[in-house]
Structure 1
Amino acid sequence: MSATQQLHNLGQSLWLDNITRDLLTSGTLQRYIDELSVTGLTSNPTIFHQAIKNSQSYDSSIQEKFKNSKEGEELFFEVAIEDITQAADLFRPVWDRTDGVDGWVSLEVSPLLAYDTESTLAAAKDLHARVGRPNVLIKIPGTKEGLPAIEEATFAGIPVNVTLLFSSEHYVAAAEAYLRGVERRIEAGLNPAVGSVASLFISRWDRAIVDDVPETLHNRLGIAIGQKAYKAYLDLISSPRWQRALNFGARPQRLLWASTGSKDPNASDVLYITSLASPFTVNTMPEQTLQAFDDHGEVGDTLCVEGGDSEALLDEFTQASVDNQALAARLQKEGAESFVKSWNELMEVITTKSESLVQAD
């Protein structure tokens, strides 16, 4: 049995953290679904920037939309929605078979809105309506300003992928925003089963402190943060508050491991897959990491439900002068800035391609 199938059988969902038009049209994504147990997909501005910049597969679509007076952000979302809906249709059998637990595809609101609650909510509602697929999650950042938008989007029945979470505290704040939206639906007599995941970024922790801690602590902080968040996740979904919501028909918001490609050439290329094996969670992985895990991955012990040695290990980082709370805030800020940078570069690519394609026509 393949490693990917073993991980799937363990109860963890394997999602692909990538989308390109070639991936969709070549049959590669369908093969990943059929052969590698991939049951969902995530995207972000960086992924779309690389996809559109490095492929001619989008040219005819960009050219047509530009001729129809679409440009910039409006043109991009029309192009992106074409990919997202096609991917969602490929995963729809999974979504149907699991009754909406799995089979999701994610599309992110503009990262320029990360600190604007009202505009984030308006964009989430607009994208949800335009996509027109029940198995699409709208990604909203778990910033302080994003939390009210997460609650309101959930109350409006919009499935949400909360992104840019970097600590158990970030996770709990996002999960409680989602739960408030669910509870409001219950009180309003609405169906509380609104899909959601909370995406905790892992590898960026280790990359951030690699030059500041002893080698014995390299590539261990992200996993420790994950262990701590996993305990918080299990504690929350087993709490009386959540049990009440579940009794009304709500679904737990699943914890998702994001940024799980190894950045250290000296570390295992599947480090964050084998180390974060855990039932009823999602691991969304870059394509290269998925292929590596299929090739030589092994499924070992699952994460400890009580947090394992995470607290003791986090104390070691504190003794090494790593301020985890301050670093979490910095990583979230840098993550938002990175997506804005990719977004601006994406808009430049869209503009350049639009103009050059029309001139060449």
Structure 2
Amino acid sequence: MTATKQLNELGQSLWLDNITRDLLENGTLQRYIDDLSVTGLTSNPTIFHQAIKNSESYDSTIQEKFKNGQAGEQLFFEVALEDITQAADKFRPVWDRTDGVDGWVSLEVSPLLAYDTESTLAAAKDLHARAGRPNVLIKIPGTKEGLPAIEEATFAGIPVNVTLLFSSEHYVDAAEAFLRGIERRIEAGLNPAVGSVASLFISRWDRAVVDNVPETLHNQLGVAIGQRAYKAYLDLLNSPRWQRALNFGARPQRLLWASTGVKDPNASDTLYITSLASPFTVNTMPENTLNAFADHGEVGNALPACGGDSESKLGEFETAGVDVQALAAKLQKDGADSFVQSWNELMDVITTKSESLANVD
């Protein structure tokens, strides 16, 4: 049995953290589904920027839409939705087989809206309607301004992938926003079975502290943060409040491990896969990480429900001068800023390609 199959048998979903038109059309994604137990996919502005910049596969579509009067952000989302809906169709059998637990594909609202509640909500509703697929999650950042949008989108029945979470506190805030939306649906007599995941970013923690902590602590902070969040996740699902919602037919919002590509060349390239093996969670992997794990990965023990040694490990980082709460806030802001930068670069690529292809026969 392959390592990816073993991980899936443990109860964890393997999603691909990448999308390109070539990946969709040359059979690679289908091979990942068939051979590597991949059951979903996530995207973000950086992924689309690289996909469109580095491929001619989008040129004819961009040319056509530009000639039809579309440009900039409007043109991009038309292009992105073509990819997202094609991917969603490939994962639809998984979604049907698991009755909507798995088989999801994610599309993010413009990162320019990260601190704008009303515009985020409007964009989420628009993208969900335009996708026209039941297994498309709309990514909304778990910023302070994003939390009300998460609640309102959930109440409106829009499946949400909460992104840019960096701590157990971030996770709990996002999970409670989702739960408020579900509780409002219950009170309104609406179906509470709305899909959602909460994405906790892992590798950026270790990259942030690598120059400020002893070498003995390298590549350990991200996993410790994950362990602490996993305990909070299970505690919340076992709470009377969540049990009540489940009794009315709600679906739990699954915890998702994001940013699981290892940045340190001296560390195992499957560190954040092996260390975060856990049932009823999702690990969304960059393509090279997925292939590395399929080639030589090992599935060890599942994360302990109690959080393991995370508190003592986090205490070591505090002793080394790391203020975890302050760093979580900084990482969230930096993450939002990096997506804005990627978005601006993406818009530049769209504009450049549109103009260069405008007069090409």
CA RMSD of aligned residues (A): 0.3
Residue 359 of structure 1, CA deviation: 2.6
Q: How does 1:133-282 map to 2 (within 5 A)?
A: 133-282=133-282
Describe the SS at the equivalent of 1:75: helix
Q: Which amino acid aligns with 2:176?
A: E
| Alignment: residue pair count | 361
For residues 198-236 of structure 1, what are the alpha-carbon distances to aligned partners after superposition, in whole Å with 9 as ceiling and x for unaligned?
000000000000000000000000000000000000000
Could you tell me which runs of 5 or more consecutive residues in structure 1 were left unpaired when the two chains were aligned. none
Look up the match of 1:62. 62
Tell me, in whole angstroms, the C-alpha distance in 1 between the residues paired with 2:302 and 2:189: 38
Look up the match of 2:8. 8
Tell me, in whole angstroms, the C-alpha distance in 2 between the residues paired with 1:81 and 1:49: 14
Look up the match of 1:116. 116
Q: Which amino acid aligns with 1:175?
A: A
For residues 94-121 of structure 1, what are the alpha-carbon distances to aligned partners after superposition, in whole Å with 9 as ceiling and x for unaligned?
0000000000000000000000000000
Tell me, in whole angstroms, the C-alpha distance in 2 between the residues paired with 1:360 and 1:90: 33
Tell me, in whole angstroms, the C-alpha distance in 2 between the residues paired with 1:205 and 1:68: 44
Q: Which amino acid aligns with 2:296?
A: H
Look up the match of 1:53. 53
Tell me, in whole angstroms, the C-alpha distance in 1 between the residues paired with 2:274 and 2:300: 7
Tell me, in whole angstroms, the C-alpha distance in 2 between the residues paired with 1:238 and 1:191: 21
Q: Which amino acid aligns with 2:315?
A: D
Describe the SS at the equivalent of 1:48: helix
Tell me, in whole angstroms, the C-alpha distance in 1 between the residues paired with 2:308 and 2:24: 40
Regions of 4+ moved over 4 Å: none
Q: How does 1:19-58 map to 2 (within 5 A)?
A: 19-58=19-58
Tell me, in whole angstroms, the C-alpha distance in 1 between the residues paired with 2:71 and 2:210: 41
Tell me, in whole angstroms, the C-alpha distance in 1 between the residues paired with 2:220 and 2:194: 34
Tell me, in whole angstroms, the C-alpha distance in 2 between the residues paired with 1:300 and 1:104: 26
Look up the match of 2:310. 310
For residues 43-74 of structure 1, what are the alpha-carbon distances to aligned partners after superposition, in whole Å with 9 as ceiling and x for unaligned?
00000000000000000000000000000000
Could you tell me which runs of 5 or more consecutive residues in structure 2 were left unpaired when the two chains were aligned. none
Describe the SS at the equivalent of 1:265: coil
Look up the match of 1:290. 290
Residue 27 of structure 1, CA deviation: 0.7
Residue 180 of structure 1, CA deviation: 0.1
Describe the SS at the equivalent of 2:358: helix
Look up the match of 1:93. 93
Q: Which amino acid aligns with 1:31?
A: R
Residue 360 of structure 1, CA deviation: 2.7
Tell me, in whole angstroms, the C-alpha distance in 2 between the residues paired with 1:54 and 1:148: 36
Tell me, in whole angstroms, the C-alpha distance in 2 between the residues paired with 1:238 and 1:37: 28
Describe the SS at the equivalent of 2:164: strand
For residues 138-164 of structure 1, what are the alpha-carbon distances to aligned partners after superposition, in whole Å with 9 as ceiling and x for unaligned?
000000000000000000000000000
Q: Which amino acid aligns with 1:84?
A: I
The TM-score, its normalising length taken from structure 2, stands at 1.00
Tell me, in whole angstroms, the C-alpha distance in 1 between the residues paired with 2:289 and 2:319: 32
Residue 334 of structure 1, CA deviation: 0.2
The TM-score, its normalising length taken from structure 1, stands at 1.00
Identical-residue share of aligned pairs (%): 86
Tell me, in whole angstroms, the C-alpha distance in 2 between the residues paired with 1:97 and 1:203: 32
Tell me, in whole angstroms, the C-alpha distance in 2 between the residues paired with 1:47 and 1:311: 34
